[in-house]
Structure 1
C-alpha cells in the first residue's frame, strides 16, 4: 500500500552557529526563516520602513530546522522523505544520519530513508547553509559574471529576486518552502506521469508516458481514463515504463478567456496493484507560435486552436518575497484582478520561480494564458558544474509537472540575458567564459522538445529568432521597451513598431493606505528616507517627476505628487497599449510590466504590494477592453482606430465631434464603420475635425456604442481649464456607498481614493473625464460609515483641473 504523511507540524528553527536568542524558535512548514523570526517577534517586519537594512545577517547565517515524527503502522517495502521544495543549500538528517542533500530551490528531492527509521519517535532535521555565502563561494570558484546587480544570484539555483531587484528588497531566505512528507509504499509507485495532449482533427489525443519505481519484480497493471476513454498497459516483472494512448471523440475545446469556454476533463492513471492514482484536470487545445516571415520581418503570434490570439497581458513576479505566504485565496484574488482588467495572459518572469500548481489551476479555470520563463534573469549564468546538472534536473522536473496545464502556452528560456550579452558590455569581462547560451539555445529546447513536444519554446525575451539579429529588433520576435521609462517622454512609445511587446511600463506609487502602512518612522514626503527606501529603481523618483514633463503640472505637495504620478503612470501605459493595439495584426501582443508587487513599493505594478488596485489598473481595464476606440496620428493627420477583439462584428456609426471646453460642438461628423471579428479598422478624420482652431480650448470626442475616447489637443499644462465645478452626492448602498458626480464644467480624470478614509475601501472606477452636464456614479465598497464631505473633497476626490487655470499653468 501507499501512504503519504505530511510532516508539517512541530518544527523549530535554530541559528547556526548557536545563538541562544535564536534557538528552538517555533517554525512553520512550508515557510522560511524570515517569517518564523517575524512570528516570534525576533525581527521587525522587513517590509516596513528601512527594516530590510538590518536583516542581511539572516542570509549569511546557517539554520537548523528540526521536528519529530512517528512511522505509520503497517508493512512497507520502502519509505521516502519527499521534499517538494528546499530553499536552498540543505542537508537532510534522519535520526542523526545524513539522508541526502540539495542545492536547488527550483526542484524537489526524494530521499530513501527506510533503513534510517526506527520504532517510536524519529527525529528529522534539515540544515541550511548560508545561501549568500554558498553563492559567493561558487562565484569565486567559477569566476565572476557580469550583471546589473553585485549580488551572486547567478551562482545558485534560487529565486533571483531574493537578492534584491529594482522593485524588490534584498531578503535572502532559507527554509522548507514547499511541503515535506513521508511516503511509505510497497511493490511499486508511480514515479512519473507525463501526458502529451494534442488534437487529431476533431478528436483529442492523450499520449501518456508512465514510469514506475519498483520495490518488487511482480507484474503491474496501469489503467488510464479520461472523458469516457480508457486504456490499459501491463508491465512484466522488471519493466518500469509504459505508454498509453487515449482518444476522446470530439471533445469540447479549451479556449483562452474571451475566445470561448474552458472545459476540462478529469484524467486519472491508476496502478492497480497498489491502488495509487495520479489525477489532473486537462483541457484539449492546440497551441502554436507563428514566427513565419512576412514583408515587415517575421511574425510573433500565439495561435490557439488555429485562431491567432492578440495578447493583452501583464508580467507576473512572485507575489511575496516569502512565497509560502501566497495562499490559494490570494492567488485567486490576484488572477481575478488580471481577468477583471481584461487581460488574457500572464508571463511568469524569469527572476522568480516556476509557479505553483495552485497558480496554474486558477489560470486553467479562468482561461488565463501563461508564458513561463525558465528562471534566469538579467545576468550571465555560468554553465559549470554543479550548476549545469542542476539546471537540467530542474528543467526536466518542471516541464513534466506543468505539461498537463492547458493555460501554459509557451516556454521562454530567459529574461534579458541574450540582450545583456549583446548590449550590456558583457563580452570583454566574460573573456570567453560561459554565460548561459548553451542553456537557452541547446539544453532547454532539447528538454522541451523531448518532454513537452506539443508546446512551443522561445530562447529568451527579448529575442528576434536568430543570434545573427539584434535581440531587441522590433521587426522580429519579442521586444522590451524600456527607453521610454528610462530616458524619454512616454509619447516615445509611438516611435516603436514591434511585433510583440513582452515588457514595457511606467512607474507610479502604491495606494495611499499602502504607503501609510509601509512608512511608520517618518513623514510621507517624496524625498523622505522611508519613501526613498521603497523606491528601488535607479533615479526612480527623479524619473517620476521628469515623466510628468509637459503633461501635468509640477506637484505642490505630497498629495499632488501621489495623485499626479499615479495618473501619469496610467496615462503613459494607456498611450503605449493603445498605440500597440492599433498596430494589430502587425503587432500581436502587449505584456505590461507588471501586474503585481512582492512588497509595498513604488513600482511599475498595477496592483500594489498590499493588493490594492492603483489607477493604472482601471486604465488598463479600459485600454484592454474587447472593443476599443483610440485616436492615433496617421499620414500627417488624425484617425479613429476601432479595435474589435471579439468574436462578433462591430458595426455602426462613429459620432465624432470637436468640442470647446463647455462641451459645445465646433464641428462634427458621423463615420460609418464595420470592424470584423478580431479586426482593426482605421478611419481618417477630415481636417475640420482633426485640426483645432484653439488647441488650448478644444477636445476631440469619438463614440461608438458604449465605447468613447476623448483626445485633448494640448497638454494639461497648456489647456485653458476652468476651475472644476461639480455636484457630488453620497447615498447608502448595499456593501457601501454610491458617489454620484454631475459635472458643471469639464472635469478631467476624476478619481476617488476611499482608502484614505478606510484602508479596506475600494472604488469600482477611476480616471473618468466628464464633459459639462455629464454625470458618473461610483460604487465605494466599505464597511465603515464614511463622512460624505470627506469622500467628496480634496484629497480623497481629485481631478486635474480642480484648482483651475493657475493649477494647470
Structure 2
C-alpha cells in the first residue's frame, strides 16, 4: 500500500482498508487474524480546509478519536489525546489561515503497551491494555473476533467552530415536579464566553403540540475574563407526564437556550426533556410517577465489530425489535462503545428506560491519580451530555469489575476501586443528585454477585448461587446457542457447520457439546454456558442440532423469566414479588459468533428472542409445574385486568380437549397472583398438553399460554397441517393438530434475510387462530409456515 487513500470521516482504518480491497472481510473465519497488522501500525489522517474567517475566535472540535493521537495544525503540534470516550476541543484562534492542513497521527496501541512498565503490584491483576482509555473489547475475543480486533482512527465527526461574538459553552438542565405534579420546574445553568453590551440569554419551552408555552430573557452579565455563568428557572403548569413504555405516553417538551446580540441569535442549544419522577424505594424497586415499574429488557453489545462509528439506522432497527420483544428497558453495558445521541432521543420517544454504565468491564483497574482523572472526566462528560433525557433511569460504574476480580483473584485486595466507590459516585451525586448511582453490576450483599441484596449475573450453569431462584434483579441472563440455520451456514459454511464425520452424540470422551468446528466461533467458554439440551431429542443433522440448542435456550429463558415475573413461590402467594426486573444477555451480536444473543450478526432473531418476547408480555399467564401444577397471572400492564380464565387439558394423541376449568379472575396492575392449582384434573397422562387463555368482557383473548408436564424428549408430536391466509401484512394460521414450534420464513426472490415477524416459533392448538404481523424490510415475497416436527409446510404470497 503506497500513498494516501481518499475517504470521508468519521471512518476508522479497517473499514477504509476493507472498502479499498486492501484487507479481506474480517468477519470471515481466519481473516481477523490476517489483519492484526493494521493496529500494529501508526496511521495518519490528513485534511486540507479553508477558513472563512481566519481572524475570528475559532476551535477545532474532535468528537471522537480512537485513541492515542497527536494533532497537528499547519505543521504545529496542538495536542495529544488519549481517551476515545471524550471529545477534545482545541482553541485555534490566530492559528488559522485561508488554507489549512490538519494532520492526525494515530499511534499503535500495541507499541504503547510494549513500552509500558507496570508496577509490580499490578502484574497479573491489571491488563496492560487498561492503561489506554479505549474499548476493552478491542483486545479480547469476547464479542467473537478471533483472536481479537483492535480498531483505530476517527469514529465521530470533527467540526471547525467559528465564534461570532458569543458562544454557549455548557447548558445544565435540571427538572423537578412539584405540587402533586401540577407544576414542573426547569432549572437552567448556562455558561458561555464573549460579551457585547446589551446581549441577552433567551430561554423558551415548547410543548409537545409545538406551541411555545413559556419564555424568558435576561441580560448577560460578563465576568472580567469574558466567561460567564447564569441561571434561570421556568415553570410549566400541569405538565404532561412522561411514562415508560407500556405505562402511558411519552410527551416531550423542547427547551431552547439562545445567546442573542441585537436581535440576532449567535448560538443556541436545543434539548428534548420529559417530566417524570423516578424514585428507588429499595434496591432496584423503582416507582415512576407513583406507579411501580419493573424492568424487563436486554443488555446490549456494540452495534458492529469492525468500527466504533455509530450507526443510527442500525440502532433504530434494534430498538424496533426491542419494542416487538415487549421490553421496556435496555442496559448499556460497560464493555460497549459510547452510544450516539440519536439512541437516547429514540429511547425518550419510545419510553425505553436506560441502565447506563460507564466504560469499564471485568476485573481491576489502575489506581493512579492520572488514570482516575481521565475516568472522572469521562463520567462528567457522560452525565452532562445525557442527564436531561427522561429515559436515563440510573447510572452504573461498570460491568463485573468487582465480580471479575472475585472470580479470578479470590481474596485479593481490589485495585482501582476508588474509581467506582468514590469518583463516579461523587460525579453523579454532584451533577445528577436525583438519579441513583449503582457502584457496579453486579454489586451488593455478602459478595458482588449476591442475588439476595443486589443485582446478579446468572452464572448458575457453572456456579452454585444461593438464592438464585428469586433474585432482586438479574442484570445478565445468558445461555449459549447458535443462530438460525440460514445465518449459521452463511458465516460457517455447510461443511464446518455440520462436519460429515460428526454423529451428534455427546459422550464422556467429547470435550464439547457440539462439533469442534463450532468452538472456533464461540468465546468466553460459551460451551460451558449451554442451555438444558438434555431435555430435547439428540441431533442427527445441522437442522436438528440448531433446533435442539435454540429450543433449549428458549425453554431455559422462558422458565427463568416466568419464575422471575411471578417473583415468589407458590407456598407464599400473598408475599411481595422479590424480583424487580430481568435483562437477557446479550441483545445483539457484533461479530458472527455462537453465544447468547437474541439477535445475530445479520440482524436475525431466533427461538430465544421469541421465547423472551412471550415471557415479557405485560399480561402473562404462566404454569408452574412442580409437586402441584399452579396457574398464575402476572399483570405488569398499567391497568387492572379482569375476565374469564379457561384452563384445559389437551390430548394430542386423540386430538381433543379432555378436561376444562373455568374461573372469573381480576388482577390489579403490578400484581402477580396465584389463581389456582390444577388438582381438579386429578391424575393424567404426561403426554397431555396444558392450555390456558384469558377472555375479556368483549370475548377477546387477551393472554394465552400452553406448557408440557414432561420434557420434550419424551413427547411424540403429531404431523400437523397448517392452514394459512395472508391479508395485507398479516398472516393468519390455524392447525388440524397440535403444532409444535411453528417457524415462519420469508423469501423475496432468494433473499431470506431482513424478514421480521411479530411472533415466531410458537405453538398452536386446534381451534386456535394465530395472527402475526409481517414486519421487516421486505414489501413482497413468499411466506412459509411449518411446525418443527411436521413434514408439511404451508405457503402464501405476501405483498404490502
TM-score, normalised to structure 2, is 0.87
Q: Is the 8 A contact 1:196 1:453 kept in 2?
A: no
Deviation at 1:775, TM superposition (A): 5.3
Deviation at 1:206, TM superposition (A): 1.4
Kindly provide the CA deviation profile for residues 231-263 of structure 1, in whole angstroms up to 9, marking residues without a partner as x: 344313425211211111111011111111111
Inter-partner Cα distance in structure 1 for 2:161 and 2:616: 47
Q: Report what 1:703 is aligned to.
A: 693
Q: Which moved more, 1:278-287 or 1:599-608?
A: 599-608
Q: Report what 1:296 is aligned to.
A: none
Q: Report what 2:25 is aligned to.
A: 45
Deviation at 1:447, TM superposition (A): 0.5
Q: Report what 1:7 is aligned to.
A: none
Q: Report what 2:105 is aligned to.
A: 127
Residues 316-331 of structure 1: pairs in structure 2 closer than 5 A? 316-323=300-307, 325-331=309-315
Residues 308-707 of structure 1: pairs in structure 2 closer than 5 A? 308-323=292-307, 325-428=309-412, 435-464=415-444, 469-484=446-461, 486=462, 496-519=469-492, 522-525=495-498, 531-538=518-525, 540-541=526-527, 543-544=529-530, 547-549=532-534, 551-583=535-567, 585-633=577-625, 636-661=627-652, 662-689=654-681, 692-695=683-686, 697-705=687-695, 706=701, 707=703
In the alignment, structure 2 segments of 5+ residues that lack a partner are 207-212, 500-513, 568-575, 696-700, 793-800
3-state SS of the aligned residue for 1:114?
A: coil
3-state SS of the aligned residue for 2:532?
A: helix
3-state SS of the aligned residue for 2:740?
A: strand
3-state SS of the aligned residue for 1:352?
A: coil
Kindly provide the CA deviation profile for residues 542-599 of structure 1, in whole angstroms up to 9, marking residues without a partner as x: 654x7301x2111111111122212222221111111100016321111111221112
Deviation at 1:640, TM superposition (A): 0.7
- Residue 149 of structure 2 is aligned to residue 171 of structure 1: yes
Inter-partner Cα distance in structure 1 for 2:778 and 2:358: 43
Q: Report what 2:571 is aligned to.
A: none
3-state SS of the aligned residue for 2:713?
A: coil
Inter-partner Cα distance in structure 2 for 1:209 and 1:778: 50
Q: 1:258 aligns with which of 237, 246, 270?
A: 246
Q: Is the 8 A contact 1:83 1:180 kept in 2?
A: yes
3-state SS of the aligned residue for 1:509?
A: coil
Deviation at 1:368, TM superposition (A): 0.7
Inter-partner Cα distance in structure 1 for 2:123 and 2:196: 49
Q: Is the 8 A contact 1:462 1:472 kept in 2?
A: yes
3-state SS of the aligned residue for 1:244?
A: strand
Inter-partner Cα distance in structure 1 for 2:742 and 2:18: 40
Q: Is the 8 A contact 1:209 1:244 kept in 2?
A: yes
Q: Which moved more, 1:266-275 or 1:249-258?
A: 266-275
Kindly provide the CA deviation profile for residues 369-425 of structure 1, in whole angstroms up to 9, marking residues without a partner as x: 111001111121112143111111111111100111110110001111122343432
Deviation at 1:495, TM superposition (A): 5.1
Q: 1:757 to 1:42 in 2, by over 3 A?
A: closer
Deviation at 1:774, TM superposition (A): 4.6
- Residue 97 of structure 2 is aligned to residue 160 of structure 1: no
Q: 1:230 aligns with which of 200, 215, 219?
A: 215
Q: Report what 1:87 is aligned to.
A: 66
Inter-partner Cα distance in structure 1 for 2:397 and 2:595: 25
Q: 2:94 aligns with which of 112, 115, 122?
A: 115
3-state SS of the aligned residue for 1:397?
A: helix
Inter-partner Cα distance in structure 2 for 1:142 and 1:453: 38
Q: Report what 2:796 is aligned to.
A: none
3-state SS of the aligned residue for 2:693?
A: strand
Q: Is the 8 A contact 2:53 2:162 kept in 1?
A: no
Inter-partner Cα distance in structure 2 for 1:81 and 1:122: 12
Kindly provide the CA deviation profile for residues 737-796 of structure 1, in whole angstroms up to 9, marking residues without a partner as x: 9574523x32222223446862344444322222345554666678698678xx45xxxx
3-state SS of the aligned residue for 1:717?
A: helix
Q: 1:311 to 1:572 in 2, by over 3 A?
A: same
Kindly provide the CA deviation profile for residues 511-541 of structure 1, in whole angstroms up to 9, marking residues without a partner as x: 3333333235954327677644321231x34
Q: Report what 1:28 is aligned to.
A: 8
Inter-partner Cα distance in structure 1 for 2:734 and 2:2: 57
Inter-partner Cα distance in structure 1 for 2:450 and 2:529: 25
Q: 2:232 aligns with which of 222, 229, 244?
A: 244
3-state SS of the aligned residue for 1:241?
A: strand
Q: Is the 8 A contact 1:146 1:380 kept in 2?
A: no
3-state SS of the aligned residue for 1:28?
A: coil
TM-score, normalised to structure 1, is 0.86
Q: Report what 1:751 is aligned to.
A: 743
Q: Which moved more, 1:40-49 or 1:418-427?
A: 418-427
Inter-partner Cα distance in structure 2 for 1:692 and 1:308: 40
Q: Report what 2:507 is aligned to.
A: none
Kindly provide the CA deviation profile for residues 250-292 of structure 1, in whole angstroms up to 9, marking residues without a partner as x: 110111111111111111111123620011111111122222x
Q: How many residues align?
A: 744
Q: Which moved more, 1:555-564 or 1:509-518?
A: 509-518
Q: Report what 2:502 is aligned to.
A: none
3-state SS of the aligned residue for 1:68?
A: strand
Q: Report what 2:210 is aligned to.
A: none
- Residue 184 of structure 2 is aligned to residue 184 of structure 1: no
Q: Is the 8 A contact 2:131 2:366 kept in 1?
A: yes
Q: 1:259 to 1:136 in 2, by over 3 A?
A: farther
Q: 2:171 aligns with which of 188, 193, 208?
A: 193
3-state SS of the aligned residue for 1:314?
A: strand
Inter-partner Cα distance in structure 2 for 1:118 and 1:41: 36
Q: Report what 2:572 is aligned to.
A: none
3-state SS of the aligned residue for 1:553?
A: coil
- Residue 708 of structure 2 is aligned to residue 712 of structure 1: yes
Q: Report what 1:18 is aligned to.
A: none
Inter-partner Cα distance in structure 2 for 1:557 and 1:246: 66
Deviation at 1:732, TM superposition (A): 6.3
Q: 1:799 to 1:209 in 2, by over 3 A?
A: same
Q: Is the 8 A contact 1:220 1:237 kept in 2?
A: no
3-state SS of the aligned residue for 2:719?
A: coil
Inter-partner Cα distance in structure 2 for 1:325 and 1:753: 32
Inter-partner Cα distance in structure 1 for 2:150 and 2:139: 6
Inter-partner Cα distance in structure 2 for 1:392 and 1:22: 41
In the alignment, structure 1 segments of 5+ residues that lack a partner are 1-20, 292-298, 804-809
3-state SS of the aligned residue for 1:507?
A: coil
3-state SS of the aligned residue for 1:272?
A: strand
3-state SS of the aligned residue for 2:666?
A: strand
